[in-house]
Amino acid sequence: MKTEKEKMLSGELYLANDKELIAERIRAKKLLHKINVTEYWMNKSTRKLIAELIPNTKGVLHIEPPFHCDYGYNIECGENVYFNVNCVVLDTMKITIGSNVMFGPGVHLYTASHPLDIETRRVLELSKPIVIGDDCWIGGNSVICPGVTIGKGCVIGAGSVVTKDIPDNSLAVGNPVKVIRKLNQE
């Protein structure tokens, strides 16, 4: 029998109010409080807290507080990742972020989703992973929806809502997002 956490991480319907998941979210909130309130700027202490919150980072991860996430351990970052102020990462499932990725202010990444059926939605949730390739810039106040893959070298314009996959080296803007041209092409 799978635990609710195992169901969450595998994309199955799960009970978010499970005791284990609540305890893990509380742990993350306590670390976030220290990052967002006690420290509030990048220093040695803040870097240690971020490493504890988001242990799956391969290099420099810079976060401008305030920052919010559900668990932290489901966020995997490459080298040189930057989150500007007010970013929200609902990491109920794995979020893979490549190297040299920049997030503008107020960017939201949502792996969490809800069933369309009313009765099921009252009790259970589900999740889909997000993948963001190397060398991407996600403009301020953009929303990346569950299950989306953004290819390497992409620029997502400010205020975009990304509901579908974006191919490598694309400039995409709007709500819903549309690819308007290729980038880095001779």
Query: Could you confirm whether 108 is annotated as catalytic?
Result: no
39 with 49: CB under 8 angstroms? yes
Check 33, 68, 108, 114 and give the catalytic one.
114
Model confidence pLDDT, tens digit, residues 117-164: 999 999 999 999 999 999 999 999 999 999 999 999 999 999 999 999
Report pLDDT for 186.
54
Strand partners, 113: 126
- 149 CB contacts (<8 Å, ≥6 apart)? 130, 131, 132, 133, 165, 166
pLDDT tens, per residue, the chain with 186 residues: 999 999 999 999 999 999 999 999 999 999 999 999 998 887 899 999 999 999 999 888 999 999 999 999 999 999 999 999 999 999 999 999 999 999 999 999 999 999 999 999 999 999 999 999 999 999 999 999 999 999 999 999 999 999 999 999 999 999 999 999 999 875
Give the global pTM: 0.94
Report pLDDT for 59.
87
Cα(64)–Cα(88) distance, rounded to whole angstroms? Answer: 12
